[in-house]
Structures are given as structure tokens and as C-alpha cells.
Amino acid sequence: MTVSGEILDQHWLDSRARPFIHIRGVTKQFGGFTAVNNVDLDIYQGELFCLLGGSGCGKTTLLRMLAGFETPTSGVISIDGVDMNDVPPYERPVNMMFQSYALFPHMNVENNVAYGLKRDGLSKEEIRLRVGEMLAMVELSDFSKRKPHQLSGGQKQRVALARSLVKRPKVLLLDEPLGALDKRLREQTQFELMNIQDRLGVTFVVVTHDQEEAMTLSTRIAVMDAGQFVQVGTPTEIYEYPATRRVADFIGSINMFEGRVTENDADHVVVDSTDNALRFFMDHGASVSDGSRVWVAVRPEKIRLSRTPPPNEANQIEGVVQDIGYLGNVSIYRVRLESGMIVEVTVPNQTRPRDGKHAAGWEDRVFLDWEASSAILLTR
Amino acid sequence: MIIMKPTAVKSTGIQRYQQMFAGVSRLLQQLQAQWKSVVVTVPYFWMLLFFLAPFFIILKISVAESLIASPPFSDLLEWTRDGALSIRLSFENYSYLWKDDLYINTYLGSVKIAGISTLLCLLLGYPIAYAIVRSPPTTKNILLMLVILPFWTSFLLRVYAWMGLLADQGLINDLLIWAGIIDSPIRLLYSHFAVYVGIIYTYVPFMILPLYANMEKLDMTLHEAAADLGARPAVTFLTVTLPMTWPGIVAGSLLVFIPATGEFIIPDLLGGGNVQMIGRVLYNEFHSNHDWPVASAVAVALLVLLVLPMMVYQKVQEKESGSGW
């Protein structure tokens, strides 16, 4: 891919790009409770944007404000340059796919999908054509006369998707779109969603509490907590360079060592751990002062596990295997350090176990180490 | 592999308890199975005894002839002089109902009054039920309580109270004269108006409660979905709310329409001689004319009039739900 192509894809890096959804200073209060607290966000055309967070973090409220079901207590939301504050839901250029699907139980599949088009007063012929096209896309043409209660969960979900896409909205809002599906169907639907988004070029805003879903689907993720954004970035940025301990903890699993900065240079930082008598070495500078309290975070898959002491001295820990979780493709080792701390290590099972034994067995003494570039230095 | 015969095992203390326990639980299961049939049988027996049996008695009287005797009708079965059993059926009472304008007009009048009352109950009850469903839980219970509250007073007393309100020297006329809106009392009592007021007042809870039960289950996200797809509130109501609350509308309407058609006390007390409804005709045939056979025929005809359309509706519903929800 060329450099310009990259910029075209990543609008948020292009200073000239005009955001499609523009959120400024938006606050929503319910009684005394602040669900969304003064957030700013720009979402660009063609993005697949994920709002990620635990329950009650305000992600759904923000989505409902985009749909028009809630009005912001203060702040501005504009879509495609139009201020949405006084626009009722039925006049907004957005459509929503509800978590419960909200299919009309008294209408068959065809009429459910046609509902929005009928409201636009399109001709019968046009409606028939577009509904047929949409049902073909979600592979439900044979089910057009069925009522929702005669469909499986996955089929309902596809009807809901067809119904929200058939009006060709500028923005599609998806509330926990894969929540009710089983794992296989989820994975399949994830990729279907990405394909559809790619093909139609619609801007997707997805609300989810599932970090895996957010990682696979999105171009960018906004991690929300207590009504505010903790970090906004690409899945790689969020995973490899989390801004805070909370984000690091929320996305994937991570090992965290508390410590103090003992050396701080432009090209490296050294941290002494508080309760492990360990020394960590990072090959990049950081804006921290000597002696300040920091956390060194390492992802389980970035750690090497060996039976013999590794050659490099830095970032080396010794411990005893306490638990092994065999997942087939990888094994998760829980290694107990002398201090009692448990470190999680993911080891790919590149070879079949010999004599029923994996890289290490229970109660084996093992050595852990990682690259100087692998650890993350967190200050909060 | 060694297979032990179960009989070869000598039962220990624990096993004896287990066997005892199994026996008790089997007994309980049998009782439970019987209990189920008891639970079903008792109400059916009740209905058989106090509904079906009287109905057949009425049916029998309706095909008898009127006599000046006690009881005032001829027997269905009679021994002839030569010892044979003869059945005497007379359908004259039914043809009499058909021939005399009074009955047909009263039937039609009753259906009309009941129909208009049902419609007005629906127009009044629907928004009330909707408002109750949408209100916060604590308010909801209070509002529901208020709907049921009138039943704590006797129905008859409440109708008498309306007589007091609607009379020429009643509260409403007094108030209107005091306010200077009218000079002399207007006729409220003993009119169709009074009957409508009475019926709607009495039966509106029977409309509200089934509607409430139906709307309670209504998924409010469907309204949001409709709005999201471009439906204005009025369109959402017509295309989503109304069709989805249809079962509640039908249930409430039947609960109002059926008893209202046969209503006797309200037209008698509030309508006076000016409003003829079939319940009053029936009462007069029975008590004033002492014509039990015609009175029975009126009752049977009323039942048929009400049950047949319901059965047709039921069939249509069944057909629809066969292909739909």
C-alpha cells in the first residue's frame, strides 16, 4: 500500500480530513447520575468505530444520543456537518441495529425490512427490489415470508442488519451486535460485518463490552470508563501501547510489576520493582522523573519461558510453575515468583508434547525473560 | 466382568431407607398426577352443575308452551293415555321473537348501545392503560389500585349514586344552575345519555385491565426501532403499537360488550322506561308477563347472538395464528 493510500484509510491522521461525526463537550445526566461526562470525539467517513467499556461506562448512552433516543444535557453532536440536537430520531440519517434486534413480531421478514422504505414513501416496485437485494445479501431470501419467532438467533440478527442497512444510512449504529450469538456464529458474523462495511462504505459505530470483538472489527477503538474516554486509538495502539493500567487490564491480560525509576535516559529506562527485588530494563526513553512510582506491564505472549537460564541478563525472572492451562494452540502457564506474585505466560505449542510433557511441567523451576522493547511503562 | 444379581444383595439399613424413600416419592408422584386431574375436574364440575345444567333447563323451558299453572309451562315429556312417552316441542316462542318487532328492535338496540359503549370504553381506556404502563413502578401500582377501587363498593350502590348525580335536582344540574350555565334543570336521568354514562363508568375497568396486561408485555424498543426507521410517533402508533395491542383490545372489548348487551340494572335504573334493552325485556317477560317459555327463548337467543360472532372470531384468530404469531 502506498503512503497516500494509508493516509486515505486513516483519516484521523490527516489534518485536512473533515470528521463525519463530530462530538464536542457532550454530557448526559440522568437525575444526579452523569452517564456521559464531557466527551469529545471525531469519527470519520467509512470508519468502523468501536465504543468499548464495561457495563455502565456510558457507551450505550452515547450511542443512543447519536440515534436521537436521548438528548445531550449539554454539548453538540453533528453528523455530516448538520447539528443533530434538534433533529428527532425519525429524521436522522442514521439507523440502528438493536441489541435485542427489536424486530416487529407481527410482521414477516420482508415487511420488517421494508418498514423503513415504506416510511420514506418509495414506490412498491422500488421497495420490492431493494428488500430483495438486501435479503439476498444477508442470505435470507428463502425466509422472506417467515415471522421473527420462526427464525433462529443468527437469522434474526441478519434480518435486523438488513433492516438497518436497507435505508442506506450514512451511519449505522450497532448495539452489542454479536452479543446474543454463539462463538462460531460470532466469528463468522464479525467477518461478514467487516465485508459489508467495506462494500457499502457506511460508517459503523459499534458498542461492545467484548474486547475481542472490538479488536477484530474496528479501525479505531474508544475505551470508555465512568462516562469518559480513557484512550482512543487503533486496536494495535490500544493493545501494545495502553495509556493507563485500566486500559492495559481491560484489553487482554497483562502482568504488572510496580516499581520506581532508578535510571532515566533518552534511550533507556531502568525500573526497580518494589516487592520482587527485580530490575527491568526498557530500551526506550519515557517522560518520567527519577524515583517516581511506575508500573512495568508485560503481555503474557511477549514472555519467553525456558528451563535453562536465558543468555540476556536483563528482564529475567525465576519462578515455579503453579498451573498450566492447555488450550490446544497455546498453553497458559501461571508461574509463581518467590514473592508469591503470579506471572502469566502464553506459550505457543509449536511441537507436539513429548512423552506427554510440554515445555515445562507442574512445580518445575523455570526462567522467564522478555525483550527490552516488549514491556510497557505506565505511570497511572 | 462380574455382574451381581440385585436380589443377591442383602439390604442394609441405608438401603432400606432408600427403598422406603423411593416408595414415598412414588406415592407422592401418583398423588400429584391425581391432584392434577382433581384441579382440572373441580372447576369443570362446577361449570357443569351451575352453568350447563341451568342452561339446559332454560333451553327446555324455551321449547315448552306457556300455561297458567305452577310451574307456568308445559312438560317436555308426557305419558299419553295409552302409556307411550311423547315429546312435545314447540318452537312457537322463537318464531314469536322473530315476528314481533319489539324483540328484534330491542336486540338491535342493545347491541347498538353495547357497541357504542365498548367503543367509548376503548377510546377512554386505551390511553389510560398506556399511561399506567409507561408510569414509574410506584405510581403504576397506585394507578392500578385506583382502577380496581370502585369494585370495593357494591355495583348497585354505585348506580344509585349516579341516579343522585344525574337527577333533575341532582348534583350536576345544581352545579350547572349555580354556575349560571343553564336556567332550569336539563334532563339527564332516564335517558340514553344516562345509560351510556352508567355502562361506560361501570365497564371501563374491564377494558383497562386486559389492555394493561397486554401493554405491559409490549417491548418499548420496538417504538424506538420504528422511530429509527423513520416513523413519526403517529405512524409508529398505527403500524406498531395498535397491531401489537390488538389481542388486548379484543379481550377488553369482549369483556365490555358481552355483559353490556345483556345489562339489566343500568338501563332499568338510569334509563327508566325510555331505554329498552334486552335484559329489561327478559325481566318483564319473566316477572310481569309470567311467560317463562318466551323469557327463556329470549335468553337463549341472546346467548346465540353473542356466542356465534365470538366463535367466528376465534376461528379467524386460529387461522391467523396458524400462519403467523
Q: Which CATH number does the domain housing residue A324 bear?
A: 2.40.50.140
Q: Which of B219, B230, B232 sits opposite A120 (nearest CB)?
A: B230
Among A248, A267, A298, the domain-final residue is A248
Look at A116 and B227 and tell me if their CB atoms are within 8 Å.
no
Give the closest residue to A91 by CA, choosing from A63, A111, A119, A71.
A119
- Domain span holding position B128: 101-323
Q: Are residues A222 and A318 in the same domain?
A: no
Q: How many Å lie between the alpha carbon of A367 and the closest alpha carbon of chain B?
A: 50
Q: Are residues A265 and A330 in the same domain?
A: yes
- A167 domain residue, yes or no: no
Q: Which of A89, A103, A149 sits opposite B227 (nearest CB)?
A: A89
- B90 domain residue, yes or no: no
In chain A, the N- to C-terminal Cα span, in Å, equals 37
- A152 domain residue, yes or no: no
Kindly report the CATH number assigned to the domain that includes residue A242. 3.40.50.300
Q: Cα dihedral sign for A175, A176, A181, A184?
A: positive
Q: How many distinct structural domains can be found in chain B?
A: 1
- B233 domain residue, yes or no: yes
Q: Are residues A77 and A210 in the same domain?
A: yes
- B31 domain residue, yes or no: no
Read off the pLDDT of residues B9-42 as tens digits, 9 standing for 90 and up: 455 667 777 777 788 888 888 888 788 888 888 8
Give the closest residue to A101 by CA, choosing from B243, B296, B4, B222.
B222
- B131 domain residue, yes or no: yes
Q: Report the distance separating Cα A71 and Cα A69, nearest Å.
A: 7
Enter the C-alpha cell of residue B68. Answer: 297458567
Chain B residues inside the 8 Å CB shell of A106: 243-244, 324-325
Q: How many Å lie between the alpha carbon of A42 and the closest alpha carbon of chain B?
A: 22
Q: Are residues A244 and A345 in the same domain?
A: no
Q: Report the distance separating Cα B282 and Cα B262, nearest Å.
A: 9
Look at A167 and B230 and tell me if their CB atoms are within 8 Å.
yes
Look at A167 and B229 and tell me if their CB atoms are within 8 Å.
yes
- B50 domain residue, yes or no: no
- B10 domain residue, yes or no: no
- B36 domain residue, yes or no: no
Look at A119 and B227 and tell me if their CB atoms are within 8 Å.
no
Q: Are residues A347 and A365 in the same domain?
A: yes
Look at A96 and B325 and tell me if their CB atoms are within 8 Å.
no
Chain B residues inside the 8 Å CB shell of A68: 227-228
Q: Report the distance separating Cα B271 and Cα B192, nearest Å.
A: 6
Q: Are residues A355 and A222 in the same domain?
A: no
Q: Are residues A235 and A314 in the same domain?
A: no
Q: Are residues A231 and A291 in the same domain?
A: no
Here the ipTM equals 0.81
A169 close to B (CB below 8 A): no
Q: Each residue's pLDDT tens digit in chain B (325 positions)?
A: 444 444 444 556 677 777 777 888 888 888 887 888 888 888 889 988 998 999 999 999 998 888 877 788 887 777 777 878 878 788 888 988 888 888 999 999 999 999 999 999 999 999 999 999 999 999 999 999 999 999 999 999 999 999 999 998 889 999 999 998 888 888 899 999 999 999 999 999 999 999 999 999 889 899 999 999 999 999 999 999 999 999 899 989 999 999 999 899 999 999 988 888 998 889 888 888 888 899 999 999 988 888 887 888 888 777 766 444 4
What pLDDT score was predicted for residue B112? 94
Q: Are residues A257 and A244 in the same domain?
A: no
Give the closest residue to A102 by CA, choosing from B324, B218, B238, B216.
B218
Q: Are residues A228 and A269 in the same domain?
A: no
What pLDDT score was predicted for residue B276? 86
Kindly report the CATH number assigned to the domain that includes residue B246. 1.10.3720.10
Q: Are residues A317 and A336 in the same domain?
A: yes
List Cβ neighbours of A130 (8 Å cut-off, separation of 6 or more): A117, A122, A166
Q: How many distinct structural domains can be found in chain A?
A: 2
Q: Are residues A323 and A222 in the same domain?
A: no
Q: How many Å lie between the alpha carbon of B45 and the closest alpha carbon of chain A?
A: 37
- A284 domain residue, yes or no: yes
Look at A90 and B231 and tell me if their CB atoms are within 8 Å.
yes
- B93 domain residue, yes or no: no
Q: How many Å lie between the alpha carbon of B131 and the closest alpha carbon of chain A?
A: 19
Longest Cα–Cα distance in chain B: 109
- Domain span holding position A295: 253-378
